[in-house]
Structure 1
């Protein structure tokens, strides 16, 4: 199952880039044997300042055709790492060829786009900067692959 991260904003060189690249590489190494991956990152940027509605249009265009979509949103469901790993496995085992995650900009994801998503995921009740959400998602994807592979990375 291919995974796509559709995100608002361009990630430049820096500590977030280093962490994301590291976790995505780890995921690729672990996930491929499990039928997970590769991961494609698609960045969009609203240069005209149209807000959440304009970002939603760009995010929708970036989504792979037919992909199940999960929104990263503060109103989403809070999952444990093993639950998240099981969710990924379920999408894969149900025959999904594409799963996409969307991360909005500073104001979040437009309600019209959120309504079209198969699920919504939250990393807690706190609001996180969208660049850190990328890092956290990349780490959780790697952790999920490790859990599914029975690797010792996740200690719960």
Structure 2
């Protein structure tokens, strides 16, 4: 299954960008990173079937194991692409949230947009290693 991260704004050369690159190189699953301008720009046409995960402050707070289980279930169920969408500074509109398969939050705190992107990449790496049985994730 393709993991496709679609984010508003350019990460460029930054400490967060280095983290995104580091985890992108480690993820063994097919991965695509798409950056869109803050406003406008066209979201690429999805593969079929596809699942949409929006990072949103109103979303569910999943454990790493629960995220891995959801990704594994979608993959094993024939989903070809899972899109992770990070909105601009103002987040996603009601229409975007309504069309999502999952709203995902990284806790109750508000995180800087670029840091949220790096955190997502780490969680995708962690989830794929959990599914693979790799020792990166140590659960208590």
TM bracket (short chain): over 0.9
Deviations 1:6-33 (A, max 9, x none): 11001111211111111111112xxxxx
Residue aligned with 1:123, SS:
coil
**Residue 107 (structure 2) pairs with residue 124 (structure 1):** yes
Residue aligned with 1:95, SS:
coil
**Residue 87 (structure 2) pairs with residue 104 (structure 1):** yes
Distance 2:120 2:81 in 1: 17
Q: Does the 8 Å CA contact 1:6/1:63 hold for their aligned counterparts?
A: no
> What is the TM-score with the length of structure 1 in the denominator?
0.83
Deviation (angstroms), 1:65: 3.7
Residue aligned with 1:99, SS:
strand
Partner of 2:9: 9
Partner of 2:44: 62
Distance 1:78 1:115 in 2: 18
Distance 2:91 2:15 in 1: 23
Partner of 1:34: none
> What is the TM-score with the length of structure 2 in the denominator?
0.92
**Residue 36 (structure 2) pairs with residue 44 (structure 1):** yes
Deviation (angstroms), 1:150: 1.3
Q: Does the 8 Å CA contact 2:2/2:80 hold for their aligned counterparts?
A: yes
Deviation (angstroms), 1:46: 3.7
Q: Does the 8 Å CA contact 2:26/2:125 hold for their aligned counterparts?
A: yes
Give 1 or 2: higher helix fraction: 1
Q: Which runs of 5+ in 2 are unaligned?
A: none
Deviations 1:36-65 (A, max 9, x none): x31111111145xxxxxx5xxx46x33524
- The change in CA–CA distance for 1:132 and 1:63 in structure 2 (over 3 A counts) is farther
Q: How many residues align?
A: 138
Distance 1:63 1:25 in 2: 24
Distance 1:13 1:46 in 2: 17
Partner of 1:26: 26
Runs of 4+ in structure 1 deviating by more than 3 angstroms, as ranges, are none
